[in-house]
C-alpha cells in the first residue's frame, strides 16, 4: 500500500516536471505557488521564535526574519550581486528609498536590509495570514494608501519614531509594484518625511527582473539581480520648498542607475548615440 502511494507520488512529480518543461504557464504557476507557500510556512514557523526572543512586535525581529528569508534564493535559483553596502553606515536615522517591482522584492529587501530598519507597507498586507503576522512582529509600518489624511498622520508618527528610536525607514516611492522595465514617477511622501526629520535619503536600486520574471509572459526562471546602494543625499537645511527638487534629483539618479544595472542605455547615452 505504501509502495503504491510512493509510485503515485513519483508519477505525479514526474508529470509535473514534464509539464513545467513544456509549458511556461505551468512553470510560472508552480514556481509562484511554491514561493507563496514558502512565505506562508516560514512566516508561521518564525512568528513563535520572534515572540520568544523579543517578546512581541519589534524591529529587532527583522534579524530573525532576514536570516530565514535569505535562504529562499537557493530554493528559487535567484542570485544577488550587491555593491555599496557601506553607504548604509550613516549615524542615526535615515530614509531608504528603492524601486518596487514584484512580490520577489521581499527577497531583495532581506538580502541587504540594515539593522534597526523598519519598512513602510500598504495596510492590506497586514491581513495576509501568517505573512501579515510576521510583518507586524517585524515592526513594519502599515499605511492606508486610500486615505491621504491617514497616511500623513502615520508618516508624521514615523518621523517622531525615527528621532526617538534612531531607526532607519525603508520606503518604496513608486507607491506600487512596477515590472515594466522602468521606474514610475516618485510620490513625495518619503521626501517630505526626510526633510521633516532632517535625515539623509539613501537610494537603493535593483536591476530589472524582466529577464527571468515577467507575469505578463508567464516567465519565472533562475536569474541574477544586481543591487546598488547609492551614497546618502543630505537634507539638512532643506525646507518644504526643496522637496520637489529632492524628489526629482533622487528619481533621475536612481533611474540612471537602474538602466545601467539592467544593461540598458540611459536617456543621455541614447541621445548621444542618435
Q: What is the per-residue pLDDT across 216-246, written as a single tens digit (0 to 9) for each?
A: 888 998 999 999 999 999 999 999 999 999 9
CB 98 within 8 A of CB 205: yes
Residue with the larger pLDDT of the pair 80 and 23: 80
In this structure, which long-range contacts are made by residues 145-149, counting pairs with CB atoms below 8 Å and at least 24 apart in sequence? 145/175
**Sign (positive or negative) of CA dihedral 161, 131, 121, 256:** positive
Residue with the larger pLDDT of the pair 62 and 144: 62
Q: What percent of the chain has pLDDT over 70?
A: 85
**pLDDT at residue 21 tops 70:** no
Cell of 254: 536612481
Terminal CA-to-CA distance of the chain, rounded, Å?
71
Q: Where are the domains of the chain?
A: 2-273
CB 228 within 8 A of CB 205: yes
Give CA–CA dist 123/127, Å, rounded: 8
* Whole-number pLDDT of residue 274: 46
* CATH code linked to domain 2-273: 3.40.1130
Q: Residue 162, Cα to own-chain centre: how many angstroms?
A: 20
* Whole-number pLDDT of residue 270: 47
Amino acid at each position: 500500500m505504501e509502495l503504491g502511494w510512493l509510485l503515485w507520488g513519483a508519477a505525479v512529480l514526474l508529470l509535473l516536471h514534464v509539464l513545467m518543461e513544456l509549458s511556461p504557464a505551468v512553470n510560472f504557476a508552480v514556481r509562484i505557488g511554491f514561493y507563496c507557500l514558502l512565505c506562508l510556512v516560514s512566516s508561521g514557523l518564525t512568528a513563535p521564535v520572534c515572540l520568544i526572543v523579543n517578546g512581541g512586535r519589534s524591529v529587532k525581529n527583522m534579524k530573525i526574519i532576514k536570516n530565514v528569508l535569505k535562504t529562499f534564493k537557493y530554493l528559487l535559483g535567484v542570485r544577488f550581486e550587491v555593491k555599496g553596502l557601506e553607504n548604509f553606515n550613516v549615524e542615526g536615522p535615515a530614509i531608504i528609498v528603492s524601486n518596487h517591482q514584484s512580490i520577489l522584492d521581499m527577497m531583495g529587501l532581506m538580502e541587504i536590509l540594515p539593522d534597526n530598519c523598519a519598512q513602510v507597507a500598504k495596510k492590506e498586507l497586514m491581513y495576509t495570514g501568517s505573512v501579515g503576522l510576521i510583518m507586524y512582529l517585524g515592526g513594519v509600518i502599515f499605511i492606508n494608501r486610500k486615505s491621504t489624511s491617514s497616511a500623513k498622520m502615520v508618516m508624521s508618527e514615523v518621523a517622531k519614531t525615527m528621532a526617538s528610536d534612531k531607526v532607519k525607514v525603508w520606503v518604496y516611492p513608486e507607491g506600487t509594484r512596477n515590472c515594466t522595465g522602468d521606474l514610475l514617477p516618485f510620490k513625495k511622501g518619503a521626501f517630505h518625511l526626510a526633510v521633516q526629520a532632517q535625515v539623509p535619503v539613501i537610494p537603493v536600486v535593483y536591476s530589472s527582473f524582466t529577464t527571468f520574471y515577467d507575469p505578463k509572459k508567464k516567465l519565472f526562471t533562475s536569474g541574477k539581480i544586481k543591487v546598488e546602494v547609492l551614497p546618502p543625499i543630505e537634507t539638512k537645511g532643506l525646507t518644504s520648498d526643496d522637496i520637489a527638487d529632492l524628489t526629482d534629483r533622487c528619481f533621475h539618479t536612481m533611474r540612471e542607475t537602474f538602466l545601467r544595472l539592467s544593461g540598458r542605455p540611459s536617456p543621455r547615452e541614447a541621445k548621444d548615440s542618435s
